[in-house]
Amino acid sequence: MRQAELQCWLVDDSPTVRQVLLHLLHEQAPTWQLHEFASGADLLRQLSNSRAPELILIDLNMAGMDGVELLRHLAARSCKSQLVICSGAPVRVLQSVGELCRALQLKLLGTILKPVTMQAVTDLVRLVEQPQRAEPHRPVTAPLQVHEVLRALQQHQFYPVYQPIIDLRNNSLRGFEVLSRCIHPSRGLVPPDAFIGSLEKYGLIQLHTFDNLEMALRDLQGWLEQGLDLELSVNLSPQLLDDLTLPEQLCQLLDSYQIPYTRLHLEVTESSCAGTVATRLDILNRLVLRGFHLSIDDFGTSFSSLERLQELPFDTVKLDKGYIQRALTDEACRASVESTLMMARRLDMRIVAEGIETLAGWNMIHNAGCDMCQGYYVAAPMQAAQVLSWCQQWQQHYH
């Protein structure tokens, strides 16, 4: 769409705020068609008589119809406009309103905190006007059936891949997250979404986890012998946390390859710790006592807080990819990320940002003081044969 065709509506009951926003938008996007409204009711009346604009800026705390009510009315009209919440409400309220927009299937582009700054408007304009890239088509893959899973295990169709984790303090390689891939004889490469659930459903996730981990430990042993100082991170299914012998099994496996327990980080999803029962607390504490590191994975996908997590023996928090992506365009979410980082430092916990895919993402988390990161901006998951050459390239160019 040409910039001259873009319509932007803004609704705020403060004439001063509207004047400031109009001025800043006119400076940064002089070809936009700007329309102002003093109330949600005025905006809805206009919406009844004309096509919806490409962009709507909405204040929350307005007299009469507030911004939340306006969102409800826009959803009822199946409004397809991109929305920006522009408000001085507390960050926790802005985050909750963001969840409401997603629940209402509204297109929330981001939030701007009041008082509005020139930088915030500049970022908004750049985001709206940047070329939109179509998401690659990813066909849905049917889950593997029980006979396919059993055959994959028996015929070693599963194998580990490794995604680098970078220490942002000095750009050094800290280690790798161990992921799993599957080569199916007829389907080809099967994504994890099509086999992890099946492994859990048929009670085979523990066998797969230990098979994948053993292959990774064999690779790690070789890398350590060649002088690399690396750690591995491995995901644990919640089902494994119901087996009281898990600590002994892991110790036995690492001992067989002479790998110190401190080189293994065990990742547990945030949701699997909700309402943690005695068995899981038993296992988690015994793992820590033996020297393993524990990480909360996908932090930011539910309503847990670091205050809650400090009751559990974790030393690392991994910020969810979606959480990081939203923070790039959402000032409230960015403030939440920064608050999480400050709290983590007070609790002596490390923070790993997942899903870093762009230079903008790298700069944001680096400037915020995040400890480590991983994502496609650094490298895609790679097979073991690629690791040594990748490590050499990274050290030459970035360290």
Structure tokens that stand for 46 in this block: 């206009």
**Secondary structure (3-state) at 9:** strand
Please give the Cα distance from 135 to 118 (Å, whole number): 30
Q: What is the pTM of this model?
A: 0.77
pLDDT at 134: 39
pLDDT at 165: 98
- Highest average pLDDT, of 149-153, 189-193, 250-254, 363-367, comes from 250-254
pLDDT at residue 303 tops 60: no
C-alpha pair distances (Å), 130 with each of 1, 176, 359? 11, 33, 15
- Chain Cα centroid distance, residue 169: 21
pLDDT at 187: 86
pLDDT at 377: 93
Cis upstream peptide for 115 (omega within 30°): yes
- CB count in 10 Å sphere of residue 380: 11
DSSP for 321-381 reads HHHHHHHTTBHHHHHHHHHHHHHHHHTT-EEEE----SHHHHHHHHHHT-SEE-STTT---
DSSP for 284-329 reads HHHHHHTT-EEEEEEETSSS--HHHHTTTT--EEEE-HHHHHHHTT
Half-sphere exposure of 210 (CA within 13 A, CB side): 14
The side-by-side arrangement of strands in the sheet containing 33-37 is: 33-37, 7-11, 55-58, 82-87, 107-113
The predicted model gives 358-379 an average pLDDT of 92
pLDDT at residue 205 tops 50: yes
pLDDT at 395: 86
233-263 residue pLDDT tens:
999 999 999 999 999 999 999 999 999 999 9
Q: Which residues contact 135 (CB under 8 A, 6 or more apart)?
A: none
81-134 residue pLDDT tens:
999 999 998 877 888 898 899 899 999 988 999 999 998 898 888 888 865 443
Confidence grade of residue 302 (pLDDT, cut at 50, 70, 90): low
Q: How far apart are the first and last CA of the chain?
A: 42
**Secondary structure (3-state) at 163:** strand
What DSSP designation does 382 have?
B
The predicted model gives 335-350 an average pLDDT of 88
Please give the Cα distance from 86 to 344 (Å, whole number): 28
**Amino acid type, 202:** Y
**Secondary structure (3-state) at 69:** helix
Please give the Cα distance from 357 to 355 (Å, whole number): 6
Q: Alpha helix (H) ranges present in the chain?
A: 15-28, 40-49, 67-76, 91-103, 118-129, 146-154, 196-201, 205-225, 246-256, 278-289, 306-309, 321-327, 331-346, 359-368, 384-398
Residue with tokens 């400031």: 20
| Structural domains present in the chain | 3-129 (3.40.50.2300), 146-398 (3.20.20.450)
pLDDT at 29: 93
